[in-house]
Structure 1
Amino acid sequence: MKANMGSTDRIIRILVGVTLAALYFLGVISGTLGIVLLVVAAVFALTSVVSFCPLYTLLGINTCSTR
């Protein structure tokens, strides 16, 4: 896997993931929507850690500054 996410993109994804997880665990969102958003938060965190987004590959997007 070749990195295709830049640092700004990674930071935004981590912040969104942490926010969604916090909303779920604080009880602000619950039920099916809460579980779906928790899974989205986990995917955002995972893709941020590995700096690779499969959807970016399909769409031809590369936010990583180094080629």
Structure 2
Amino acid sequence: MKTNEGNIDRVLRVVAGLVLIGLAATGTVGVWGWIGVVPLATGALGWCPLYTLLGVSTCPLKR
């Protein structure tokens, strides 16, 4: 697995994942909020399988 997420992308994913999980835990959004595990995991790993399939990368170019 090669990293295909930049730092800003990773931070936004982790924050969004934590917010969704928090809302699900408090019962605000229901069971669908647990989908926040996906952005949390991809942000923590720095690798998104969908980005790989689409050929997208938000990592800065290495010179």
In the superposition, the TM-score normalised over structure 1's length comes to 0.82
Q: Structure 1 vs Structure 2: percent identity of aligned residues?
A: 37
- Point out which structure has higher relative CO (alpha carbons under 8 A, 6+ apart): 1
RMSD: 1.2
Unaligned ranges ≥5, structure 1: none
SS in 1 for 2:41: helix
Is 1:42 aligned with 2:24? no
Paired AA for residue 19 in structure 1: V
Ranges of 4+ aligned residues in structure 1 off by more than 6 Å: none
Unaligned ranges ≥5, structure 2: none
Q: State the aligned residue count.
A: 62
In the superposition, the TM-score normalised over structure 2's length comes to 0.87
